[in-house]
Structure 1
Amino acid sequence: MSRRPALALVTLFVTLFVTLAAAPLAVANTLVFTAIPDEDETRLQERFQSVAGYLSEALDVDVRFIPVTSYAASVTAFRNNQVQLAWFGGFTGVQARQMVPGSIAIAQGVEDPEYKSYFIANHATGIKTHEEDTAPQALRDVTFSFGSQSSTSGRLMPEYFLREHLGASPEALFERVGFSGNHSRTISLVQSGAYQAGVVSYKAWENEVASGAVNLDQVQVIWETPTYPDYQWTVRGDVDARFGEGFTQRLQRALIDMDDPELLASFPRSGFIPAENADYQELVEVARQLDLLD
């Protein structure tokens, strides 16, 4: 073999080796985050791609958003270190932090300490708006859709209030019980009459109404729950070891400093404030009462 082809071959192998060696480093230096798929997937993609760009600039690191197909998948990705940061609902955040010791809630929306759910009904049911502090008795024996099985506002807290106020499990209260998977689908199912009633995040309802996706001649809010803590940003406890000392504090600061009106409107939140794990103890206790958490 002549010297020139031999040299070219050596160069090829060196280039290949350097490329393969650099690939894990590039991944290791990328902050990857996800979010529970609580609403229409297209809107979620647009929202969080913009958030990725904002965080990348604020933190001076590569930041990537990856979508997941279910609430449970967001927790699994966090547990497996496929993502280091997640926009969780209250209950999924509790689950994730239980699975990954050392993980912490670092930020929440201004509205999240006093979140609430809306019970909605198809107009054909004849159920009227209920303004009492307890869930309406008129919900008995209807067909009913929750959201995701792991949703705080679409399942956990609504089920707790139903049991507390009406004295029975959903299976005993309703003619048929379903789980739509997210708030947008719950609204569609109740609006179409596939289910007579359901429960959704109040923010998701307001978002869908604002986007024109809700026909208020077909579906309406009939009751709003008492408030409870909900959404938050949770980060793995090992990110400082990966991205440098003080990274968690920098990340928290970047989230709290997010003030772009378009970014905030897409959540929708008026801003972000600090959060900590203890803020969600109420959800831990409710989940244990419902046998949804060890």
Structure 2
Amino acid sequence: MRFSFYRRATLVTLASAICTLCLSSGIANAQQVLRVSAIPDEAPTELQRKFKPLGDYLEKKLGMKVEFTPVTDYAASVEGLIKGKLDMVWFGGFTFVQAKIRSKNQVIPLVQREEDEKFKSVFITTNPAINKLEDLKAKTFSFGSESSTSGHLMPRSFLLNAKVNPDTDMKRIAFSGAHDATVAAVAGGKVDAGALNISVWEKLVSQNKVDPKQVRVFYTTPGYFDYNWTVRSDMPADLRKKITDAFLALDSNNPKDKEILDLQRTARFIPTKADNYDAIEAAAQQAGLLK
């Protein structure tokens, strides 16, 4: 009887230990996946195409699976990160600021492209009568997404500085949702003019997807800080360092690395910090876009 009791106790203890081991293993496996996303400033197929080689590279460097999950809109990228559904997101400057405020400073920007230190927006039109920002009064106009830095916040800021209030001085404003959609709206005559990310504009021109003789740039903004890769502050410090080091190690002299960098439209990544986006936050406050 005593033997049977001890044997049962031993079996229960062993079963408990196995369950604990299985549970711990499951958690460990779950932590071996880096869930990545990006603001949907271009078509979903284009975002996937751009990320695939980078994702494969990060898997090798980090020794863990990297999954790219597209999101429906800019707000979903912010919520996904701060709610723990995503681990790393490619943010614009404004969406980073939104995530910082929503999370009460619990997000950390790791790296940005060199170009993101002095990023720019371009204003485009097909109308020969539009040659400066002031000419946009009483015209129809398209921004990108409402949460876009280069497609809305900064263009709006520069318009306000030029004494043009989009909400009261323009005939009508629209939000296309993405930079390439803004170009399509202007080229198709749906609006008189629009503003977008200079990087996307240059890519579309180089790919002959827009005719710069038909759709022309009439104003280019001064530079400002924009895009970055951001993680939550509760990510282990060693993993943050591995991710940062992986981005910084990309070398344009290496053909495989160059393919990745070309898709990201840069020659190299550099470290960044939250303070770099103070001007973006101030511009958002001034424009009344932070809630």
Query: What is the aligned partner in structure 1 of residue 78 from structure 2?
Result: 75
1:271 aligned onto 2:273: no
Query: What is the aligned partner in structure 2 of residue 111 from structure 1?
Result: 115
Q: Unaligned 5+ residue runs, structure 1?
A: 1-16
| Structure 2 CA distance for aligned equivalents of residues 144 and 292 of structure 1 | 18
Q: Secondary structure of the residue that 1:229 maps to in structure 2?
A: coil
Q: Secondary structure of the residue that 1:32 maps to in structure 2?
A: strand
- Shift, 1:24, TM fit: 5.0
Contact kept? 1:103, 1:237, Cα under 8 Å? yes
- Shift, 1:127, TM fit: 3.2
Evaluate the alpha carbon distance shift between residue 127 and residue 23 of structure 1 in structure 2; reply closer, same or farther with a 3 A threshold.
farther
Matches within 5 A, 1:57-68: 57-68=60-71
Contact kept? 1:127, 1:222, Cα under 8 Å? no
| Structure 2 CA distance for aligned equivalents of residues 45 and 229 of structure 1 | 24
Q: Secondary structure of the residue that 2:212 maps to in structure 1?
A: coil
- Shift, 1:184, TM fit: 0.4
1:199 aligned onto 2:195: yes
| Structure 2 CA distance for aligned equivalents of residues 266 and 40 of structure 1 | 14
1:258-290 deviations in Å (ceiling 9; x for gaps): 231111111211110000000110001111111
Residue in structure 2 matching 1:38, options 33, 36, 41:
41
Tell me the amino acid that sits aligned with residue 281 of structure 1: D
Query: What is the aligned partner in structure 2 of residue 137 from structure 1?
Result: 134
Query: What is the aligned partner in structure 2 of residue 228 from structure 1?
Result: 224
Query: What is the aligned partner in structure 1 of residue 128 from structure 2?
Result: 126
Tell me the amino acid that sits aligned with residue 252 of structure 1: T
Query: What is the aligned partner in structure 2 of residue 185 from structure 1?
Result: 181
**Large movers: runs of 4+ above 6 Å:** none
Contact kept? 2:137, 2:164, Cα under 8 Å? no
Tell me the amino acid that sits aligned with residue 267 of structure 1: Q
| Structure 1 CA distance for aligned equivalents of residues 270 and 231 of structure 2 | 15
Tell me the amino acid that sits aligned with residue 99 of structure 1: R
State TM-score, norm by structure 1: 0.86
Q: Secondary structure of the residue that 1:200 maps to in structure 2?
A: strand
| Structure 2 CA distance for aligned equivalents of residues 97 and 33 of structure 1 | 18
Tell me the amino acid that sits aligned with residue 73 of structure 1: A
1:284 aligned onto 2:288: no
Contact kept? 1:153, 1:201, Cα under 8 Å? yes
| Structure 1 CA distance for aligned equivalents of residues 208 and 81 of structure 2 | 34
Evaluate the alpha carbon distance shift between residue 232 and residue 289 of structure 1 in structure 2; reply closer, same or farther with a 3 A threshold.
same
Q: Secondary structure of the residue that 2:145 maps to in structure 1?
A: coil
| Structure 2 CA distance for aligned equivalents of residues 200 and 153 of structure 1 | 6
Contact kept? 1:110, 1:273, Cα under 8 Å? yes
- Shift, 1:23, TM fit: 5.1
Evaluate the alpha carbon distance shift between residue 28 and residue 247 of structure 1 in structure 2; reply closer, same or farther with a 3 A threshold.
closer
Tell me the amino acid that sits aligned with residue 255 of structure 1: F
- Shift, 1:248, TM fit: 1.1
Contact kept? 2:115, 2:266, Cα under 8 Å? yes
Contact kept? 1:147, 1:180, Cα under 8 Å? yes
Residue in structure 1 matching 2:258, options 257, 261, 268:
261
- Shift, 1:102, TM fit: 2.8
Aligned length: 268
| Residues 264-273 or 147-156, more deviating | 264-273
Tell me the amino acid that sits aligned with residue 172 of structure 1: T
Tell me the amino acid that sits aligned with residue 109 of structure 2: A
Alignment RMSD: 2.1
Contact kept? 1:256, 1:273, Cα under 8 Å? yes
Tell me the amino acid that sits aligned with residue 272 of structure 2: A
- Shift, 1:215, TM fit: 2.2
- Shift, 1:173, TM fit: 2.0
Tell me the amino acid that sits aligned with residue 225 of structure 1: T
Tell me the amino acid that sits aligned with residue 140 of structure 1: K
- Shift, 1:82, TM fit: 0.9
Contact kept? 2:119, 2:225, Cα under 8 Å? yes
- Shift, 1:142, TM fit: 1.1
